[in-house]
Amino acid sequence: MENDILVVKIGGREIAPGLGVRAFAAWAGGMVRAGHRLIIVHGGGDEVTALAGRLGIATLKVDGQRVTTPEVMPLVTQVLAGEVNVRLVAALRAAGLSPVGLTGLSGDLLTARVAEEGRLGQVGEPTRVAPQILGTLLGDGRVPVLAPLAAAPDGGVLNINADLVAGAIAASLSAELLLVTDVDGVRGADGHAVDRLTTAAAEGLIASGDARDGMVPKLRAALHALAGGASTVWIGRLEDALPPASERRAGTFVVPEAPLSSLSSPPSVTVEER
């Protein structure tokens, strides 16, 4: 294989306790046995919201995006780096793999800056990736499992959208990016899923508002990953995420077409030498 590394982003809903996380772990085991090396980035926003609700802490949003306040940030770290990461690591281990739970702060892997001029609180966007720790773990036959937290410039911690984290890592390793979600692919302006989407068309869906909610960061992650050197980007459901060489895989491939416009031009992300 030219590059056998797959960077897989899995949403929190797809790795819920019980059948969800076990199904994903079984899929991951099959991919490793087929000869692929996996890096997994996971979400978990619904569980953060649920915990905040139980504690009587309001969930604030700006333009549909969660605001990570100083009051919410400890819940984010508790859920993402704790409950969800440990659950996923345990399930992967039970499936016969050798996972290692990490955050973006582990091994100085990921550095970020505050996003949206601070409108979203302690939310960031990646600015530097140092993938050495990932290479070491992959070389040892391990599966890195990454919670989407990163170091802030002031030494603090920032909450990062997991799609963007996965995109930055895929770009840094020139790897394939799989954005696993609960829909069958990206839907065009007519509402139907498409099997192939150019970068220009993806930008158009964002600009027109036809891409909504969670699909927007996925498309932005795809655009940034391809601009940064990722080999392939695919968006779809777990059951369709077959090996990369398969022509039978459903979902949507995002493919380069032209230089990215200023709409989706990624922040400058530095990649340290591997």
In order, the DSSP letters of 239-262 are GG---TT-S---SEEEE--S---T
Distance CA 137, CA 115 (A): 30
Establish how many alpha carbons lie within 13 A of residue 160's alpha carbon, considering only the half-sphere containing its beta carbon. 36
- pLDDT number for residue 271: 62
Q: Which of 76, 90, 121, 68 is nearest to 22 (CA)?
A: 90
Establish how many alpha carbons lie within 13 A of residue 35's alpha carbon, considering only the half-sphere containing its beta carbon. 7
- pLDDT number for residue 261: 47
- pLDDT number for residue 268: 56
Q: Which of 269, 116, 263 is nearest to 202 (CA)?
A: 263
- pLDDT number for residue 1: 40
- pLDDT number for residue 190: 75
**Tokens, residue 147:** 């919670």
- 40, 10 contact by CB (below 8 A): yes
Give me the residue label for tokens 């007519």: 190
φ/ψ of 236, rounded to 5, equals 175, -170
- pLDDT number for residue 54: 97
- pLDDT number for residue 210: 78
DSSP character for 60?
P
Instruction: Count the residues in the chain.
Output: 274
- pLDDT number for residue 270: 65
Residues of the chain falling short of pLDDT 70? 1-2, 63-64, 242-249, 258-274
Distance CA 178, CA 180 (A): 6
- pLDDT number for residue 28: 95
The domain made up of 5-246 is a member of CATH 3.40.1160.10? yes
**What's at 83, amino acid-wise?**
E
Q: Which of 248, 254, 244 is nearest to 38 (CA)?
A: 244
- pLDDT number for residue 220: 87
Distance CA 103, CA 89 (A): 13
The pTM score is 0.89
Distance CA 269, CA 24 (A): 30
How many Cβ atoms are within 10 Å of 43's Cβ, its own excluded?
25
- pLDDT number for residue 262: 42
**Buried residues in 12-41 as b, exposed as e (16+ CB within 10 A):** bebbbeeebbeebbbbbbebbeeebbbbbb
Distances (CA, A) of 121 to 67, 78, 129, 162: 6, 17, 22, 17
Which spans in the chain are helix H? 19-33, 45-54, 73-77, 85-94, 132-139, 162-173, 199-208, 215-228
- pLDDT number for residue 168: 94
